[in-house]
Amino acid sequence: TRLYLGANDSGYLDVPSNQIDHFERDLTPANSSATPPAQPNTGGARLDEVVTEASSHHQLDPDLVNSVIRAESGFNSRAVSPKGAQGLMQLMPQTASKLGVANAFDPRANVEGGTQYLRSLLEQYNFDLVKALAAYNAGPLRVAQYGGVPPYYETQAYVARIIRDFNRKKLAQQHSAAAAKTKLRKAAASPRSADSASPTQRASR
């Protein structure tokens, strides 16, 4: 079964049909690309500022980091998974320790550590986003074992959810930019009243 990850055919995963447990309807709100609400305990900064700072530090798109946070914790800085992953970007205690994150429930430290880890995975897989996200969810050992995305429903759905959310944001930005350009072109093409007046009319004013 071919699972397309975006609005076009450029990205997809081929999944053995007998390994698909079930399908779910995409219930993500249409405005999911909106800036998330500010989270507490960020040293007075908004969460979007924290994400932008960490993304700039590690040269990642902040929209991608936000999509990972949405999938991992739903922007809940106190989230804890059944396996023990903690905080906004769901860092396992041993991973947090390696990244120098003393308190995974501190949003600023968690986002900085999670973004650093995501960047390292992207470098490890030559910026193959699908593999990097699969490793973030299931671990690099599983990606190496299966030569790509592991045949786990959770990981496959996780990768698809993040890429779909990220693509949605980029498409919305493209549409907004195109609309702004169209508006500027129309404004430039519309003659201004003063400029459209004849020389005689201007002289008589």
Residues tagged active-site: 72
Contact assessment for residue 66 and residue 39, using Cβ atoms and an 8 Å cutoff: no
State phi, psi for 166 to the nearest 5 degrees: -65, -45
Neighbouring C-beta atoms of residue 107, cutoff 10 Å: 26
Task: Tell me how far CA of residue 96 lies from CA of 75, 115, 187, in angstroms.
Answer: 18, 12, 52
Site of tokens 């609005």: 7
SS3 65: helix
- Measured in residues, the chain has a length of 205
Contacts of 46 (CB under 8 A, 6+ apart): 38
Contact assessment for residue 149 and residue 134, using Cβ atoms and an 8 Å cutoff: yes
Contact assessment for residue 67 and residue 169, using Cβ atoms and an 8 Å cutoff: yes
